[in-house]
Amino acid sequence: MNPSNPPQAAEYGGDEVSAIVLDPGYSTTRAGFAGEDAPKSLIPTYYGKYNVDGQEKLVYGDEIYVNPRPALSIHNPMGKDGIVEDWDMAEKVWEYSFTSRLLGTKPGNPFQNGLNDIPAEELPTEMEVETEEKPLADSPLLMTEPAWNPAKAREKTIEIAMEKWGTPAFYLARNGVLAAFASGKASGLVVDIGASNISITPVHDGMILKRGVQHSPLGGDYVSSQIRALFKKNSPQPITVTPHYLVSSKSPVEAGQPPQAKYRTFPADKAPDASYRALVEERTLSEFKECVVQVWPGPNKLSATGPTGASNEDMARSSPGRPFEFPDGYNQVFGVDRFRVVESLFDAKAAIPDPDSSVPAPTQAQTIPELIKASLGGVDVDIRPHLLSNVVVTGGSSLLYGFTDRLNHELQQLYPGPRVRISAPGNTAERRFGSWIGGSILASLGTFHQMWISKKEYEEHGANIVEKRCK
Ligand SMILES: Nc1ncnc2c1ncn2[C@@H]1O[C@H](COP(=O)(O)OP(=O)(O)OP(=O)(O)O)[C@@H](O)[C@H]1O
Ligand SMILES: [Mg+2]
């Protein structure tokens, strides 16, 4: 395959067996059949643990939200840097992502998946899906990884795929490269705003430029910690996020008035662990991010003075606020504060301090403009203009309202010369699943056949083959 040609729609599909594409992120794990336009399975990467009669039980998928069992605790097999920490549990969570929703059900016919529809009379006859002992004995597997995944982790991944899941063919692709493919590009600067991480990945001819890869922890979880910091110092009163399972009834109240709710309490020996409450609270914070939070669109920082002499803060203050109602009925209109909670992704000084938080204050070097500078600084001068005219925006947190406008202004300011062009799919699913979709396209290319690492090759060369073949 010549990686310098972006995948063409006409090349999709054609495989007799659908490969599975598995895209594990810190907040969610996405799995589905290659050639389809969205992952069929989307589960939290978190899992729950509790005890019954001294026996440890584990819960996966959306099940973790459902029942606040006594001492139920929530864990994540991935570390904050997006690299697996607990391999046994990563294997189980990932396996759940495809066994729970993909296997046992027939894959969608790859000729009718929205990407490459052909008339019904030309469809090949249905294929059989056999179930064998190892869950992927029939399915080639393409997995994604962050550009900074260490060699040990890459080897461990192919080991699990081959030995535990029995996949006949495997490939490991960088999620930045795949997000570029999903935008129809083989080269570009990929800006991924995820949950635990943000990253900048320069991609050239389908390969990452390693020296230009930058990442920092200012992702969606960081934004959530800023929202918590804001809630603590909110006026007219601090806001406590009370999750739904602790509210038994509520009455409507006026904006800014104390909630009128009846709360449910658990005796100490019946209560779930604090990590369960944090997980459920995060759902409310996510909703707040989607409905209220807004990125100051620029030009310039929120703290700067605009072209008319009025401060940007004043401009932000004069735009209509956004209301939000919490699970206990407390509601308020959020004004300029809704910009403040995200401003530090661009300007570290704007971070809302929170002395009780375990999240350290950001440094300027961790902000998006500085990461981009460092990233472009690490690649050949000649290709910088090409990267700047192919900026690909992906990841759930890039859906923050106003994000791409601000990014555009920041880039124009940093690089006034070359033409800056951002491609950011308007469709929410395409933005959230960029790397999965790129994997779906890649794995279903006819020309991808030669890229797979077969079981035989793995047996001959060992796990280290992943270093040689998946560059
Ligand atoms: N519409 C939205 N507005 C703002 N934030 C959003 C929106 N939708 C999702 N998010 C946030 O995006 C994050 C999830 O993004 P994504 O799925 O790209 O992360 P991930 O791949 O699981 O994590 P990582 O890339 O860090 O490993 C969450 O923090 C979520 O709150
Ligand atoms: Mg991600």
Percent of the chain with pLDDT over 90: 85
Return the ligand 1 atom nearest residue 220 CA. Answer: 29
The pLDDT of 452-461, averaged and rounded, is 97
pLDDT at 188 over 50: yes
- Residue spans of the domains in the chain: they are 219-361
Query: Are 193 and 395 within 8 A, CB to CB?
Result: yes
Q: What per-residue confidence (pLDDT) applies to 13?
A: 37
Q: Cα 206–369–213 angle (5° rounding)?
A: 30
Q: How many residues does the chain have?
A: 471
Q: What per-residue confidence (pLDDT) applies to 123?
A: 54
Peptide bond into 77 cis (omega under 30): no
Question: In CATH, which superfamily holds the domain spanning 219-361?
Answer: ATPase, substrate binding domain, subdomain 4 (3.90.640.10)
Question: Is residue 429 within 6 Å of ligand 1 at its C-beta?
Answer: no
Q: What per-residue confidence (pLDDT) applies to 113?
A: 55
Percent of the chain with pLDDT over 70: 90
DSSP sequence for 384-421 = HHHHHTTEEEESGGGGSBTHHHHHHHHHHHH-SSSPP-
- Taken in order 406, 408, 409, 413, the sign of the CA dihedral is positive
Neighbours of 343 (CB within 10 A): 24
Least confident of 63-77, 127-141, 271-285: 127-141
Structure confidence by residue, pLDDT tens digits, 84-111: 999 999 999 999 999 998 987 545 555 5
Q: What per-residue confidence (pLDDT) applies to 17?
A: 67
Neighbours of 175 (CB within 10 A): 30
Q: Which two tokens stand for residue 308?
A: 């008319």
Question: Is residue 30 within 6 Å of ligand 1 at its C-beta?
Answer: no
Q: What per-residue confidence (pLDDT) applies to 2?
A: 42
pLDDT band at 33 (very low <50, low <70, confident <90, very high): very high
pLDDT at 464 over 60: yes
Closest C-alpha residue for ligand 1 atom 8: 396
pLDDT at 118 over 90: no
Report how far residue 73's alpha carbon sits from residue 143's, in angstroms, rounded to the nearest whole number: 28
> What kind and span of H or E run contains 316?
helix 312-318
Structure confidence by residue, pLDDT tens digits, 293-343: 999 999 999 999 988 888 999 999 999 999 999 999 999 999 999 999 999
Long-range pairs of 456-465 with CB within 8 A, sequence gap ≥ 24: 458/158, 458/162, 458/170, 463/155, 463/156, 463/158, 463/159, 464/155, 465/158
Closest C-alpha residue for ligand 1 atom 20: 25
| CA distances to 16, 143, 399, 438 from 435, in Å | 23, 10, 15, 5
Return the ligand 1 atom nearest residue 193 CA. Answer: 18
Return the ligand 1 atom nearest residue 290 CA. Answer: 3
Mean pLDDT of the chain: 92
Residue 91: which residues within 8 A CB-CB, separation 6 or more?
160, 164
Strands 422-423 and 188-193: unpaired
Please give the span between the terminal C-alpha atoms of the chain, in angstroms, as a whole number.
Answer: 14
The pLDDT of 284-292, averaged and rounded, is 98
Q: What per-residue confidence (pLDDT) applies to 336?
A: 97
